[in-house]
Structure 1
């Protein structure tokens, strides 16, 4: 608005102001579109095989009947299952989780199974006891994807009668103790459990102020809230790569499931060789 010399008040069109508002609106729309595309790209997807899909659809609750769910997070935890458990013909891959982030770019395809050697989360089920489910998580899951992963996986499992065991790798450099001389020989296990887990743990509890992070923490938190009996065994090791000694540390944790999960007395040398080779490739400075 402006006034003339004769006292009239005239409406003045300010093109600069309108152009600024239009540019701001366009910028907001572009930002919103980019944000939406990023969220869609970082979405977590679960793909089940035909048998599991049929079993889930058959139940009225649209969930899979499962008595024991074993989650292995990290190269040594996952390597133990590959070398001592899954190398037998009794286990079938029945599904996988696909996701994309800055460190897991190879697992963005959710329409097909991951390629051999590709970082992924793969589910296995025992042929003779379909109520036992194993998941190997060998890919990095970003912080903004942890809640998605946990909610989507557990929404497929019947919570009634379910028990969960988490095996997790952790560098010993992150372990805190008031007296270094009293620390256990490396590698060693520490445990955490939910309030509904009543069985005796097979190693000392994780001392304060040590904390659990990543997928193991997300699973423990979910199971605590939903009152699912869960125990986590975290192995502290001074090696990053898959190591037979570190893998063997988890064997005592699986002893409580000996009736459901049988450990091979002689691990697969082929599997151990592949794990070592993959580790050498990943640690190469020039690859």
Structure 2
């Protein structure tokens, strides 16, 4: 028996019963050999691997150890990838140097050699006229447990500190924290986050607190990694109300073309704009074919 604060007498619970229940729960939680095998198979399947698609071989060292660079430009998400394809990749000759093979709950790319037009991908290139410029187009989802693997496979365990990293990505405007109503915001709009060692000024206003950017671009990924390793890096974040491939959202990244990292890589902005429009039209046609 036990007395409560108000003097009421209540029966104390029997400890023996709870111990039996705890033992049953513990037995239920014990991993069987079959469970362990399934878990190991799943872990192997979720391993991030960097491949050379042409040679059909795995990169034995990190990408940036194999291809050291002074500029590393990363586009994450469909609109950032479309922008980079139209304005940067069409202004020079780029050679593919690697491809990330990923398998998770949102990305099931098994055959990296033959990607369909609508399939998610993560491919790396360098500029043939200046191999110290490396570019990444990542339209696929990198799960939380795969982000550190991705960083190690790309940057390595001891990355060079004299490179400039530029990251482009999008978030939905409802993720933007502000005292104003999100309906009054003119979307899309651009915000920036930078590391303490950033050597160049951002091309737009900085992201205000208490906003955070989760996932591969920042909190769990590239920007945090660059901050720890004291690498100059800027993340350009486009807040939009359209998360599918969208011309206006992709064009919102245009101010970034005036940055030191991208300025010399663009040759003809009007022509690149037309290429972007054609890319959007082609994507609509292909989406209709594959759905």
Q: Name the TM-score, length of structure 1 as normaliser.
A: 0.78
What is the DSSP-based 3-state SS (H/G/I as helix, E as strand, rest coil) of the residue aligned with 2:265? Answer: coil
* Inter-CA distance 113–161: structure 2 relative to 1 (3 Å threshold): farther
What is the DSSP-based 3-state SS (H/G/I as helix, E as strand, rest coil) of the residue aligned with 1:130? Answer: strand
Larger Rg: 1
Matches within 5 A, 1:1-287: 28-48=32-52, 62-88=65-91, 90-105=93-108, 107-109=109-111, 112=113, 114-155=115-156, 158-180=159-181, 184-217=185-218, 218-256=221-259, 257-262=261-266, 264-265=268-269, 266-267=271-272, 268=275, 269-278=277-286, 287=291
CA distance in 2, matches of 1:156, 1:119: 27
Superposed displacement of residue 86, structure 1: 1.7
* Inter-CA distance 97–181: structure 2 relative to 1 (3 Å threshold): closer
Superposed displacement of residue 143, structure 1: 1.2
Unaligned runs of 5+ in 1: 1-22
Q: Residue deviations 1:65-95, cap 9 Å, x none?
A: 2000011011111110122222355122221
Superposed displacement of residue 114, structure 1: 3.6
* Inter-CA distance 103–35: structure 2 relative to 1 (3 Å threshold): same
What is the DSSP-based 3-state SS (H/G/I as helix, E as strand, rest coil) of the residue aligned with 2:98? Answer: strand
**Worse overlay, 184-193 or 173-182:** 173-182
Superposed displacement of residue 181, structure 1: 8.1
Aligned residues: 255
**Worse overlay, 27-36 or 37-46:** 27-36
What is the DSSP-based 3-state SS (H/G/I as helix, E as strand, rest coil) of the residue aligned with 1:216? Answer: coil
Note the aligned Cα RMSD (angstroms): 3.1
Equivalent residue, structure 1, for 2:9: none
Unaligned runs of 5+ in 2: 1-26
* Moved beyond 4 Å, runs of 4+: 181-184, 278-282
Superposed displacement of residue 184, structure 1: 5.0
Q: Name the TM-score, length of structure 2 as normaliser.
A: 0.77
CA distance in 2, matches of 1:181, 1:47: 42
* Inter-CA distance 49–133: structure 2 relative to 1 (3 Å threshold): farther
CA distance in 1, matches of 2:285, 2:98: 25
* Inter-CA distance 278–235: structure 2 relative to 1 (3 Å threshold): farther
